[in-house]
Amino acid sequence: MSFMPVILWTDALIFVLMVGVLALVWFIRRHEHLRAPWRVVAQRPMAMGAALVLGAFVVIGLLDSLHYRERLADSPADAPQYSVEVLSVFDALVSGLRTRQEKTYSAPLAMQLYAKEFLERDGETVRDYPRLQYGGAHLKHADEHASDIARRTLVGLTQGLAVGLLLFGLLAAWQARRTQTQLGAWLEVWTTGRLGWPGRTVVLVLTLMLLLAGMLIQLASGYHVFGTDKVGQDVLYISLKSIRTGLVIGTLTTLVTLPLAIGFGIAAGYFRGWVDDVIQYVYTVLNSIPGVLLIAAAVLIVQVYIESHPEIFDTAAARADVRLLALCLIMGVTSWTGLARLLRGESLKLRTLDYVEAARAFGVSHVRIISRHIFPNVFHLVLIAIVLDFSGLVLAEAVLSYVGVGVDPSMYSWGNMINGARLELAREPVVWWQLGAAFAFMFALVLAANLFADGVRDAFDPRLGGRR
C-alpha cells in the first residue's frame, strides 16, 4: 500500500456523528409528525439556500476528515515507512494549493512578493519585489497580469455557468418526469415559484456557488487567490482547511452537551424534589464560573498533560487533534447548563399535562414516561438548541484561540489565522488578506448556519405553529 489510513479521534467521532444523523433522518422519514416540520423548513427559500451553503462546507469538512499517511518513496516494500505528515483526501484533491509555497507574504492574485529583496537584474543588484515562485509564474511579462486574471475569471464563470445549466437541465427533466408534466410546463411553474419547494432559490444559490467555484478553480491554478501568509502558505488553502476545525467544534461540542443537558434537564424537571435540588446546584456552580476562565483553566491542564506525555502521540496532527477534542469536551461540559435549564422548565410543564397523568394512572414506569411522553415533546427544543449553538461555537473558537486557550497553534483554524494576522495590522501597507479571508469564511459559515437555524426554529417552535 502506498499509504496508511489514519483515524484521528475527531475523525472517528465525526463518522459516528454522521451515522447518527443518517439514522435520525431514516427515523424521521418514517414518522409523519416528525417529517412535517422538516417539510416546512424545506419550503423556506432562505433556509434551503443556507442549507446548500452549509452542505458545501460539510462536504469539504468530511473530505478533510479522511486522513492518511503517505509511504515514503524510498522505504522498502516489506517494511514500509510512512511520512510523519498526516494528509487528508481533501489535501490530495487540492495538492497544488498545499505545495505551492512562497517565501513569505504576497497579496491576493499578486505576481510579486510583499517584501523587497536584493535581486540580480541585468547584472545589477537592485532591491525590489521579487517575482513569486508560483503565483503568476506562467506569465512572461507583468503587463499580461490583468488580462490573464480577467481571462481566467471569465473562463471560470463560463465553466461554472455551464455546469450549472447542465445540472438545472437534468433537474428539470427529472422533475418533469416525476410530476408527469411537459418540460416547458414545469419550467413555467418553476419561474413562477409555485413548485411547493423553493426551486428558484435552490437553483440560484447552486448556480452562484458553481460560478464561484469555477472562478476560484481557474484563478487558483495560476495565482494565490487570497495571497500567502508569513511563511508563504496559500491563504485560500488555510481557510479551506480551517473549515473542518470550525465544523468539528460546532458539532462535537454539542455532542458532548446533549447527553448532559437532556439527562440532567429532564431528570430535574420530571422528578423534582432532591434530584432537582442537586442538579440545580451543580449547574448553578458551573454557571457561576465565568465560562472563558473555566475553559482556560481546563485547557491549561490539558496542555500540561500533553506536554508531559509526548510519547502517546506519534504525529503532530494527533497531538493537535487531541487538544481539539479536549477543547470540545471542555466547552461541552461548560455549556450544557443553558439547554438543561430550558429542558427542566419544559419538563416541569409537561409532567403536569393530562397525558402524563393518564400514563401515571396506568402505572407506566418513569423511564417509559420520560422516553415516550417527555423526551419526544422536548426534542424540538434540543434540535433548535443544536442549530442555534452551532454558530455561536464557531465564533467562540476564534475568540478562544485569540485568548490562547483555543485549538493547538499548529492547527489550521480561523481563530489562529486571525491571531496570527492581527499583529501584522500595524505593518505599512497593511497585510489584510489573511484576516479578510478568515472573517469571510467564518461569516459565510455562520450566516448560513444562522439562517438555517432561523428556518428550523420557526418550523419547530410550537408557539408560532399554533395548537397541535
User: What dihedral do alpha carbons 277, 278, 284, 287 form, nearest 10°?
Assistant: -140
CA distance 26 to 367: 24
CB 202 within 8 A of CB 48: yes
Nearer to another protein, 177 or 427 (CB): 427
Does the protein bind another protein through residue 355 (CB under 8 A)?
yes
The residue (of 150 and 301) whose beta carbon lies closer to another protein is 301
Cα separation of 224 and 104, whole Å?
A: 12
- Cell numbers for 16, please give them: 459516528
In the bound state with another protein, the residue whose beta carbon lies nearer, of 187 and 296, is 296
Mask for 129-158, x = binds another protein (CB under 8 A): ------------------------------
- Can residue 423 be called a binding residue for another protein (CB under 8 A)? no
CA dihedral 304, 308, 311, 313 (to 10 degrees): 10
Residues 6+ apart with CB under 8 A from 220: 96, 97, 234, 236
Q: Give whichever of 251 and 391 is closer to another protein, judged by the CB atom.
A: 391
Based on the shown chain and the rule CB under 8 A, indicate whether residue 316 belongs to the binding site for another protein. no
Contact indicator for 449, 250 with CB cutoff of 8 Å: yes
Q: Determine which residue in the list 24, 183, 300, 423 makes contact with another protein, applying CB under 8 A.
A: 300
Q: What would the grid cell of residue 423 be?
A: 499583529
Among 215, 279, 395, 411, binds another protein (CB under 8 A): 395
DSSP helix/strand/coil, 203: helix
The yes or no reply on residue 429 touching another protein (CB under 8 A) is: no
Q: How far is the CB of 306 from another protein (least distance, A)?
A: 11
Nearer to another protein, 24 or 289 (CB): 289
Give the residue among 287, 384, 380, 373 at the shortest CA–CA distance from 336: 287
DSSP H or E stretch at residue 128: strand 124-128
Q: Does 285 bind another protein (CB under 8 A)?
A: yes
Among 266, 451, 456, 459, binds another protein (CB under 8 A): 451
Any contact of residue 410 with another protein (CB under 8 A)? no
H or E stretch covering 121: strand 117-121
**Does 311 interact with another protein (rule: CB under 8 A)?**
no
Helix, strand, coil percent values for the chain (each to nearest 5):
70, 5, 20
- Footprint of another protein on residues 31-90 (CB under 8 A)? 32-33
Binding string, 21-40, against another protein, x = CB under 8 A?
A: -----------xx-------
CA gap 186, 194 in Å, rounded: 10
- The residue from 115, 150, 425, 427 that contacts another protein (CB under 8 A) is 425
Contact positions vs another protein (CB under 8 A): 32-33, 281-282, 284-285, 287-290, 292-294, 296-298, 300-301, 303-304, 307-308, 353-355, 357-365, 368, 372-373, 376-377, 391, 395, 398-399, 402-405, 418, 422, 425, 430, 435, 439, 442-443, 446-447, 449-451, 454, 463, 467-468
